[in-house]
Amino acid sequence: MTKYLIKGGNRLHGTIEISGAKNAAVAILPAALLVDGICRIENIPQISDVTLILQILQELGAEVRTISRTTVEVDCTRVRNRQVPYELARKIRASYYLVGALLGRFGWAEVPLPGGCDLGGRPIDQHIKGFVAMGAEVDVRNGLICAKVPGGRLQGGQVYLDMVSVGATMNIMLAAVLAEGLTVIENAAKEPHIVDLANFLNSMGADIMGAGTDVIKVRGVERLRGGSYSIIPDQIEAGTYMAAVAAAGGEVLIQNVIPKHLDCITAKLLEMGVDVEERDDAVMVRRNGPISRTNIKTMPYPGFPTDMQPQIAAVLCLAQGTSVVTEGVWDNRYRYVDEFRRMGASIQVDGKVAVIEGVETMTGAPVHACDLRAGAAMVIAGLAAKGVTEIDSVHHIERGYECLVEKLAAVGADIKVIEVPDEEAAKPQVG
Ligand code: EPZ
């Protein structure tokens, strides 16, 4: 088993370069299925979720060429297979984008129900509602989402989403680009990755208007052609390192970001007494004094992102005073709280609300990365804690953070990867 070993207490100094956005990449790569020709996609993050999506595309018959560490060329012209391999698809949430993309291209798709982080119920009824509004017949059976269009080609439709859903918005957009006529998505999500997917598709010849607002209109086109596209920087990766500096203290320039995308995170850090200075494509984050308490409520963009909730909670554990965190998106995103308690944090959870009483110091302990962002939060807590923190199940972290250990070590963190024999890892933990 691979673990991260962190000796806390080092302040962070230097520069961190942010990679391409995970949640944009995992939608843009399946979108290549809709394109006739070669898509050159740049600023791809090197994370295991992306590796999995590329593997799935290859299994379907796509040609994937690695051009450089961050650039791939994907050619789906010769894809004929529409059955997505079970073992690969169930490991990743974003495999649901294959339904929209395959339905749009072939009028037929069979995709295993997706996996991903356990955040409570993760229904896909709104995705299905969208496909049905465009004339598809959708059935969920034997662990598969089976969708087909009786006439072969989807028809534009009107879809009002019952809740703001990132996945449903993107999936319906994917299905709609090659449909006949106009599709209107109302109450659409507005996250930066929604706009990025629309920009990618438009640059390949799609006709999508309104991405980034709550009404998106997609006028179907006959075909998309190949081209080049560069993925936006990862808002959440940047926010995670901002939170790391806030917790550990120090001064770090976080580069290759779109500062506007970080406004919701910056605003909260400023309230907490952290200094954030915006540059053109970077933010300088400094924390020398004490951390002030604040309240956080997670919401769809431009609200405070749920994917930053565990990381900011790690910082609030060390704030002066009591903070209230309210999770507004997922049913169960506090599974990390017991791990924080092992490190000396004082947190009470009641349903979707966590009350955090700041403590002066946290102490290192063996902890478990129960999901991607919870794992990132463990790293942040470990950087600020006294003593050694050993984090297991770090494969969750590697699903979404490129070279996290190297990036933090380069700014002075004492963090390293260790390999522990499985028998050793299975022993009960003391701490
Ligand atoms: C995406 O998940 C992200 N995943 C999540 O990031 C992120 O937390 C989430 O959006 C919200 O920002 C990817 O992009 C791969 P939703 P998604 O549909 O699309 C309910 C991370 O850490 N809902 O916006 O699955 C749902 O239960 C991950 O990077 C329905 O009820 O989220 C939730 O309460 C974790 N029916 C809310 O809507 C549906 O059909 C928002 O979910 C769809 C969603």
For ligand 1, residues with CB inside 6 Å are 23, 26, 93-94, 117, 121-127, 163, 165-168, 189, 306-307, 329-330, 372-373, 400
pLDDT at position 80 is 84
Which ligand 1 atom minimizes the distance to the CA of 167?
19
Rounded CA-CA distance 54/50 in Å is 6
Tell me how far the alpha carbon of residue 168 lies from the centroid of ligand 1, in angstroms. 8
Residue 428 has a pLDDT of 47
| Angle separating helix axes 97-106 and 166-176, nearest 10 degrees | 10
Q: Give residue 243's identity as a one-letter amino acid code.
A: A
Q: What is the pLDDT of residue 422?
A: 77
Atom of ligand 1 nearest to the CA of 163: 38
Residue nearest to atom 31 of ligand 1 (CA): 123
Angle between helix axes 309-316 and 235-248 (nearest 10 degrees) is 10
CA of 281 to the centre of ligand 1 (A): 27
Rg of the chain on CA atoms, in Å: 22
Strand partners, 186: 160, 215
Q: What is the pLDDT of residue 427?
A: 54
- Name the closest-CA residue to atom 42, ligand 1: 165
Catalytic residue set: 117
| Pocket mutation for ligand 1, best pick of 28, 56, 166 (most atoms within 8 Å of C-beta) | 166
Rounded distance, CA 46 to CA 69, Å? 8
Opening angle at CA 339, ends 334 and 342, nearest 5: 135
DSSP label at residue 6: E
Q: Find the DSSP H helices in 272-336.
A: 309-316
Averaged over successive runs of 10 residues, the pLDDT of the chain (431 residues) comes to 97 98 98 97 97 95 97 95 82 90 95 76 91 96 91 96 97 98 98 98 98 98 97 98 98 98 98 97 97 98 98 98 97 94 98 97 96 97 98 96 98 96 60 33
Place of tokens 């349903």: 351
Residue nearest to atom 4 of ligand 1 (CA): 23
CA of 193, closest atom in ligand 1: 14
Please give the distance, rounded to the nearest whole angstrom, from the Cα atom of residue 166 to the centre of ligand 1: 6
Q: Whose CA is nearest to atom 9 of ligand 1?
A: 166
Ligand 1: atom nearest CA of 121 is 27
The pairing of strands 35-42 and 71-75 is antiparallel
Task: Supply the DSSP string of 67-126, one letter for each residue.
Answer: EETTEEEEE-TT----B--HHHHTT-GGGGHHHHHHHHHHSEEEEEPP-----S----HH
Instruction: Find the 36 Cα to ligand 1 centroid distance in Å.
Output: 29
22, 52, 91, 93: residue to mutate for ligand 1 pocket, most atoms within 8 A of CB: 93
- Taking the centre of ligand 1 as the mean of its atom positions, its distance from the CA of residue 68, in whole angstroms, is 31
Ligand 1 atom 5: the closest Cα is on which residue? 307
Residue ID of nearest Cα to ligand 1 atom 39: 124
Quote the ligand 1 centre to 307 CA distance (angstroms).
10
